[in-house]
Every structure is written in structure tokens, then in C-alpha cells.
Amino acid sequence: MKAKPGVRFSDQSDEFRMFIRHAVGNFGCHIESYTDSGGLTIAVVNDTPDVNCLETFLELAGLVYESAYYFPLGSDNPPASMRHGAGYWKFQHYSVRRDDT
């Protein structure tokens, strides 16, 4: 299953969005939000081979890695697998590929 090029993630079919949501969850991550630019933000687990597999999977599904950032945990208490460094969430942004190449 692949994203329709140039279509915002939120405007993709329900079937595709749920397919991605379940796949992301199977990698131990979760979709945090949809972005204003039409992509999505994923909270990722600690850097493991599974994260590399997730990135490859999303690329094959028509999503493109944009950037990553760390955000302090604050009062949140995520499972150890979601903590990075001394106590940060790691979020990665993806957008939908603009063309079918």
C-alpha cells in the first residue's frame, strides 16, 4: 500500500492511514500528530534496528523523512523504550512524497 503522491497525509484514504498507524505501532512507536505541512509526526523508540526498518518501511509506503527533534519529557512518564538520553522524547517528521518517483 502506498500514499497518493502530493496528497496530505490527513487526506489519504482511511485504509492507508490506518495501515500506517498499525505499522508504526508494530515498530513500538506511535503517531503523535499530523503536521501543518501535510505530513505526520512520529514519537520513536530509542535508536534500534527497528527504527531503521520503520524509516525504510515508511519510505516504501511513499513517505519522506524530513527532520527529527528531541523534546524534554517534563511530567510525562513514557516507557523506558521511548526515553532518549537523559529524558527526552524523540519525534520524527515525515511528509508525503510529492511525485511518484
What is the CATH classification number for the domain harbouring 29? 3.30.70
At residue 76 the predicted structure's pLDDT band, cuts being 50, 70 and 90, is low
Q: Report yes or no on 43 lying in a domain.
A: yes
Please, are residues 46 and 81 in contact by the beta-carbon 8 Å criterion?
yes
Question: What pLDDT sits at residue 75?
Answer: 60
Assigned domain for 2 exists: no
* 85 in a structural domain: yes
Residue 1 included in any domain: no
Residue 101 lies in a domain: no
**Residue among 14, 27, 90 at smallest CA distance from 56:** 27
Domain carrying residue 59: 9-96
Spatial distance between the Cα atoms of 41 and 85, rounded to a whole number of angstroms: 20
Query: What pLDDT, on the 0 to 100 scale, is given for residue 2?
Result: 92
- Number of domains observed in the structure of the chain: 1
* In-domain check, residue 37: yes
Q: Give yes or no for residue 77 having a pLDDT over 70.
A: no
Which pLDDT belongs to residue 95?
93
Residue 4 domain-assigned (yes or no): no
